[in-house]
Amino acid sequence: MTYTAKFRVWRGDDTGGGLVDFAVEVNEGEVVLDIIHRLQATQAPDLAVRWNCKAGKCGSCSAEVNGLPRLMCMTRMNTFAEDEVVTVTPLRTFPVIRDLVTNVSFNYIKARQIPAFAPPAGVAPGDYRMQQVDVQRSQEFRKCIECFLCQNTCHVIRDHEENKEAFAGPRMFIRLAELDMHPLDSKDRKVEAQEDHGLGMCNITKCCTEVCPEHIKITDNAIIPMKERVVDVKYDPLRWLGSKIGKRPGL
Amino acid sequence: MSVTAPGRAQIAAKTLRTDKWWLQPLGTVAVLLSFIVYATWRAFEGAHYFTEPLISPFYSPCLATSCVEKSSLLGTPVGAWWTLSPALLILVFPLGFRMTCYYYRKAYYRSFWQSPPACAVGEPHKKYTGETRQPLLLQNSHRYFFYIGLVFNTLLTIDGFLAFRDHEGNWGHMSVGTLVLLTNATLLWLYSLSCHSCRHAMGGRLNHFSKHPLRYKMWTLVSRLNTHHPKFAWFSLIGVALADYYVRCVATGAISDFYFF
Amino acid sequence: MSQIERHSYDVIVIGAGGAGLRAAIEARSRGLRTAIVCKSLFGKAHTVMAEGGIAAAMGNVNSNDNWQVHFRDTMRGGKFLNNYRMAELHAKEAPQRVWELETYGALFDRTKDGKISQRNFGGHEYPRLAHVGDRTGLELIRTLQQKVVSLQQEDFAATGDYESHLKVFAECSITDLLLDEASGAPRIAGAFGYWRETGEFIVFEAPAVILATGGIGKSFKVTSNSWEYTGDGHALAARSGSRLINMEFVQFHPTGMVWPPSVKGILVTESVRGDGGVLTNSEGRRFMFDYIPDVFKKQYATTEEEADRWYTDPDNNKRPPELLPRDEVARAINSEVKAGRGSPHGGVFLDVSKRLPAETIKAKLPSMYHQFKELAGVDITAEPMEVGPTCHYVMGGVEVDPDSTAAVGVAGLFAAGEVAGGMHGSNRLGGNSLSDLLVFGHRAGLGAADYLQGIAGSRPSVTPQMVATAEQTALQPFHNEGGENPYTIHAELQQTMNDLVGIIRNGAELAEAIARLDSFKERVRAVKVTGGRAFNPGWHLALDLPNLLLVSEALARAALMREESRGGHTRDDFPGMDNQWRQVNLVCRAEGDGIAVEKQPIPVIPSELLGLFEVSELEKYFTSAELAGLSTGGAQ
């Protein structure tokens, strides 16, 4: 079951770099990250790669394998033919630091701009009561492991660096959806999602959902419902009228 | 700017994908273009859309005075001044529903507008503002098209039931044409009811499902349908074209509608 | 020498897992300017791997639960070697710490009446673990991470700077603690480290350091721990003059994946068993019934019929032996495999598919389903998993004052979470780790705040000499000539520990291990790295090696000295538990280039706490002399 695979790994930093060819041993049951580690241990000791848990739970080893954003620890080698060249590059939406490691601070800066959970007034710790059906939508979004593959694949910023200012990205949209759907959050997130975080820039082409290793239905369960909630408060004249008459308070 | 913006790993290729990523957008373009060509031709044709008891979904409800006799379920309120094909009066609604549909938006943004053509494949545009400006802000009207779509679905369902008649209008008969119209109506219902706006209206806007058990149940049901929305979108699109084509074939006499009883 | 980046803070928290973040939140809330320094990105800490839940006696599912029962379970699990005060504080404060998380935005699974749901777990008498499916650790980390962000947002509103009072230094490793010894006894003056990204050095000046670095799993070959678990905090504390206790106790989680090789060791959560998974050997036998030790005979079912009834009627039946404490299950699996009744890849079978419908499995154990499907190509709703023991957790750690978490021996040093020792005794119960992080993380923040108040006018200072020495040590691997590659040394060290200091130990092998570890010292000193300083993983590993070696030696030496079997320490040559040994903690100190171990009497458990147990149970752990002394103490 052991064979020698052809790998092409991007090596370099922000001053330049390129794809470097390697021939490397592959054994049964291995994943791309194992092969990168073997390269480190045997051929390129200073090959930079970020990783932690090796089980698809921490979201550290994000990279692009044959052009597709993936977690290296969850990309099994048996998905490639033995004679196939496997190309591994860093995420292409964020600035590169070195080799496969990129600077993902964009995501942390954006996260900081989203107002935190606003606890309900007058409810003491221990007195929170929520029904399972009311929390499960938000729970789906809290499965996010922050691998930032969705942010990386989103063409809004991948192909348009200048949009990074105005656009928070799919990871932040599920955070906004999580909070807006939270049964006890006391803040309204709809208008700011549209006006401050660029929800309207999303054209729901769903690549975020396609690459999500946690299989979170980012587009269908977070972005589109948020767009619909925004319509409720911004673009639906009937609902607007309804809220003015006071028939539908609080929606 | 593009994926090679300063500071990023300098890789010239627009994509390093090795799979046939272009297949899907290509397929979408092919199917949608075929439909547009066919639908445009049929909409302007203004003929062969009715043969008792069958009416083409492209022409129902037929609202102009020029409509073929007996084809107007709701009468002809538009009057005689309308001299173009009566299909053009109504097609804007189903067209609007599909144009603003969250699934079709994905499909045509990817395939026609190439924004992006596929995941992690560079797009050709220099600038991108998404749906933040006109005319794309109009996409937010989807729910209204959804409501109107429900009216159309009802009418087309009635058309299907009216087809339990024979050429003379006697009840108690059923033909292939009946099945065609009813199948078409069913697919349209599935497409409409699985729509994201429908899901939102049923319960998506609520934060406390536990206080609205009935709406939660409906939301759950629509959510389940919603996962098949793309499938229903395609099936109902092809279905409506086929239904129209079948009616046309019967109306021109190319085939005769086979009656089961 | 170029100018080194310098920062001044009130407190430096090393580690951004559950304990570190909770400590930082508390420190900042008490007004301290706080820095969090972590080796990985913010939010990636190993805490995310915790699956089962957070143990806290809230009594939401079974109202009979309370802190006394939790305390009893914890002491029992630790075979009464726990620091009783830590176990007491932990049991009392855990519910408050969990409830607090909800105010930060955590979304636990719910009971029917809307409270936090609690699940069964090995060693816990009642359903006690607050959980979110099987990703509780992720929820904990994300919640604390978001609380940190929310505090930063408050600071931004007040000062215009998000990082004015609480800053995260991510991908930054600390290599040395800087000590002010001007007044005799060592005091923390700061910390020295490097940015992983650039390789540039960084100096923190701060009178207080909270260690929250987690464990030592990377000294072993088969481990559930991530690369970060190199014993940094243990080593930093020992080298600065503090002490490590209970280092011989290492928990081998009974169920790690055994195949494919690349994921060998990765955890299979105990909830699989809590939710109905059974362990069988190659003959199809539920072998755990053969391994119920006498001390547990009263709490566990002895027939399959009774065990099966427990899943639906836990009040009237005893629990299945699959839910025995982890050390028991790990040893049982080890014995089955050794006896030739193992699975094809050297483990045993864990099967949940026969008891639960596929949909339930996917809902209750989503990440397990996912993990096996994607990493091993196994569908756990239809077929059994193959599992075997994996190094999971070190009970040993920095000796601390239970109330303040202050490390013994160094003023201004605190430790919380896995890096601290004592709380779990000889064996930790599942679910007690996450609650430990919260309870003692919180206390560490308070402890540091109190300490700072106490030293108000006399902050220690960092001298250029300290920095120069630390810098020289860190750069040495680049200057070494002819040394080995760090990966080779690390792999061999792990193999040695796995082979000789593993789950079943004996005197001869431990002595052999100590001899071999000695020979590693020169190899580690001479380690050679190539390449530059920017994001160079070879260099990073080279700097971790001394830490790994130090904790390995502490472990091996303590294991050799303790001549009995108890919890996470099993000696072939001393198979029984010895009540004399219960009265002793083994304490490790750094001495020269090695470790010295000595015995230290364990704190005496006050009678009101002992009174929570039946005398018949205490007799299993305490000497008759000890029990005689407490006859007036109110034990029932």
Alpha carbon distance C528, C535 (integer Å)? 16
CA-to-CA separations, A60 to A148, C121, C280, C443, in angstroms, rounded: 9, 29, 35, 30
| Closest residue in chain A to residue B229, using alpha carbons only | A220
Which residues in C lie closer than 8 A to residue A29 (C-beta atoms)? 259-263, 376
Inform me whether the pLDDT recorded for C600 exceeds 80: yes
Q: Helix (H, G, I), strand (E, B), or coil: what is residue B30?
A: helix
Alpha carbon distance C289, C302 (integer Å)? 6
pLDDT of residue C635: 41
Pair (C495, C575) in one structural domain: yes
Pair (C577, C619) in one structural domain: no
Tally of residues, chain B: 261
Using the beta-carbon criterion (under 8 Å), do B132 and A201 form an inter-chain contact? Answer: yes
Q: Which residues pair with B8 in a beta bridge?
A: A95
Using the beta-carbon criterion (under 8 Å), do C536 and A116 form an inter-chain contact? Answer: no
Tell me the pairing of strands B50-51 and C413-415: unpaired
Q: Is C558 domain-assigned?
A: yes
Q: pLDDT band at residue B1, thresholds of 50, 70 and 90?
A: low
Query: Which residues in chain A come in under a pLDDT of 70?
Result: 246-251
Tens of pLDDT, residue by residue over B146-205, are 999 999 999 999 999 999 999 998 999 999 999 999 999 999 999 999 999 999 999 999
Q: Is B150 domain-assigned?
A: yes
pLDDT of residue C328: 87
Q: Helix (H, G, I), strand (E, B), or coil: what is residue C567?
A: coil
C233 Cβ contact partners less than 8 Å away, ≥ 6 residues apart: C14, C15, C211, C212, C213, C214, C397, C398, C415, C419
In chain C, residues 330-359 whose CB comes closer than 8 Å to chain A: none
Pair (C382, C475) in one structural domain: no
Q: Dihedral (C-alpha) A102, A103, A104, A106: value to the nearest 10 degrees?
A: -140
Inform me whether the pLDDT recorded for C457 exceeds 80: no
The helix (run of H) or strand (run of E) holding residue B111 is: helix B102-111
pLDDT of residue C338: 85
pLDDT of residue B158: 96
Annotation marks residue C273 as catalytic: yes
Q: Is C213 domain-assigned?
A: no
The CATH 1.10.1060.10 domain(s) of chain A lie at 105-245
Q: Is C192 domain-assigned?
A: no
At C259, list the tokens.
């195949």
pLDDT of residue C630: 67
pLDDT of residue A251: 42
Give all chains having 3 or more CB-to-CB distances under 8 Å with chain B: A
Mean pLDDT of chain C: 94
Using the beta-carbon criterion (under 8 Å), do A125 and C99 form an inter-chain contact? Answer: yes
Which residues in C lie closer than 8 A to residue A28 (C-beta atoms)? 260-261
The CATH code of the domain at A3-102 is 3.10.20.30
Using the beta-carbon criterion (under 8 Å), do A93 and B8 form an inter-chain contact? Answer: yes
């997130």: which residue's tokens? A189
Q: What DSSP string runs through C259-304?
A: -SGGGTT-B--THHHHTT-EEE-TT---GGGGG--GGGTTTB-SSH
CA-to-CA separations, A217 to A171, C34, C505, in angstroms, rounded: 11, 37, 49
Which amino acid, one-letter code, is at A167? F
Task: Single out the catalytic residue among C253, C331, C490, C569.
Answer: C253
Which amino acid, one-letter code, is at B170? N
Pair (C379, C501) in one structural domain: no
Which amino acid, one-letter code, is at C144? L
Inform me whether the pLDDT recorded for C437 exceeds 70: yes
The answer to whether A132 and C109 have CB atoms below 8 angstroms apart is yes
Alpha carbon distance B255, C138 (integer Å)? 64
Which one of C365, C390, C415 terminates a domain?
A: C390
Pair (C614, C597) in one structural domain: no
Using the beta-carbon criterion (under 8 Å), do B3 and A14 form an inter-chain contact? Answer: no
Work out the average pLDDT over C370-382.
88
The answer to whether A146 and C145 have CB atoms below 8 angstroms apart is no
Alpha carbon distance B97, B192 (integer Å)? 9
Q: pLDDT band at residue C631, thresholds of 50, 70 and 90?
A: low
Pair (C492, C379) in one structural domain: no
Is A166 buried (19+), middle (13-18) or exposed (0-12) by CB count in 10 A?
middle
pLDDT of residue C400: 98
Using the beta-carbon criterion (under 8 Å), do B16 and A159 form an inter-chain contact? Answer: no
The proportion of chain B whose per-residue pLDDT surpasses 70, expressed as a percent, equals 100
Tens of pLDDT, residue by residue over B207-236, are 999 999 999 999 999 999 999 999 999 999
Domain of residue C480, CATH code: 1.20.58.100
Residue span of the structural domain in which C626 resides: 605-636
A20 touching chain C per CB within 8 A: no
**C558 vs chain A: nearest CA distance in angstroms?**
29
C538 touching chain A per CB within 8 A: yes
Domain of residue C317, CATH code: 3.90.700.10
Pair (C557, C619) in one structural domain: no
Alpha helices in C339-389 (DSSP H): 358-364, 366-376
Q: Helix (H, G, I), strand (E, B), or coil: what is residue C570?
A: coil
Work out the average pLDDT over C574-579.
94
Pair (C371, C331) in one structural domain: yes
Residue span of the structural domain in which B142 resides: 23-252
Which of A16, A18, A92 lies nearest to residue B3, judging by beta carbons? A92
Q: pLDDT band at residue C298, thresholds of 50, 70 and 90?
A: confident
Q: What DSSP string runs through A148-199?
A: -HHHHH-HHHHS-GGGGTT---HHHHHHHHHHHH-TT--S--HHHHHHTS-G
The proportion of chain C whose per-residue pLDDT surpasses 90, expressed as a percent, equals 81
Which amino acid, one-letter code, is at C547? N
Q: pLDDT band at residue C315, thresholds of 50, 70 and 90?
A: confident
Q: Other C-beta atoms within 10 Å of C226: how many?
A: 26
- Provide the terminal-to-terminal Cα distance of chain C, rounded to the nearest Å: 69
Q: Is B74 domain-assigned?
A: yes
Annotation marks residue C562 as catalytic: no
**C487 vs chain A: nearest CA distance in angstroms?**
6
Work out the average pLDDT over B6-16.
93
Using the beta-carbon criterion (under 8 Å), do A115 and C153 form an inter-chain contact? Answer: yes
Q: Is B3 domain-assigned?
A: no
Q: Is B2 domain-assigned?
A: no
> Which value does ipTM take for this structure?
0.95
Which of B9, B142, B216 lies nearest to residue A133, judging by beta carbons? B216
Mean pLDDT of chain B: 95
Give all chains having 3 or more CB-to-CB distances under 8 Å with chain C: A
Work out the average pLDDT over C597-624.
94
B45 Cβ contact partners less than 8 Å away, ≥ 6 residues apart: B85
A105-245 belongs to which homologous superfamily?
A: Alpha-helical ferredoxin (1.10.1060.10)
Alpha carbon distance C505, C362 (integer Å)? 38
pLDDT of residue A245: 77
Is the link from the previous residue into B116 a cis peptide, with omega within 30 of 0? yes
């006109």: which residue's tokens? B134
The answer to whether C150 and C130 have CB atoms below 8 angstroms apart is no
- Phi/psi at C217 (nearest 5 deg)? -55, -25
CA-to-CA separations, C244 to A49, C247, C398, C520, C589, in angstroms, rounded: 33, 7, 4, 21, 7
């975080």: which residue's tokens? A197
Count how many domains chain C has. Answer: 3
Q: pLDDT band at residue C121, thresholds of 50, 70 and 90?
A: confident
Alpha carbon distance C591, C586 (integer Å)? 15
Q: What DSSP string runs through B52-77?
A: TTEE-TTS-S--BTTSPTT--TT--T
Q: Is B129 domain-assigned?
A: yes
Using the beta-carbon criterion (under 8 Å), do C110 and A130 form an inter-chain contact? Answer: yes
Alpha carbon distance B165, B178 (integer Å)? 9
- Phi/psi at B260 (nearest 5 deg)? -75, -40
Alpha helices in C421-485 (DSSP H): 432-454, 464-479
A-B contacts at Cβ under 8 angstroms: 162
| Sheet containing C413-415, strands listed edge to edge, beginning at the edge strand earlier in sequence | C166-170, C34-38, C11-14, C208-211, C413-415
Which of C146, C366, C537 lies nearest to residue A46, judging by beta carbons? C537
Identify how many contiguous H helices and E strands chain C contains and give both numbers: 18, 20
Q: Is B5 domain-assigned?
A: no
Tens of pLDDT, residue by residue over C150-182, are 999 999 999 999 999 999 999 999 999 999 998
Count how many domains chain B has. Answer: 1
Pair (C524, C614) in one structural domain: no
Tens of pLDDT, residue by residue over B88-125, are 999 999 999 999 999 999 999 999 999 999 999 999 99
Pair (C266, C371) in one structural domain: yes
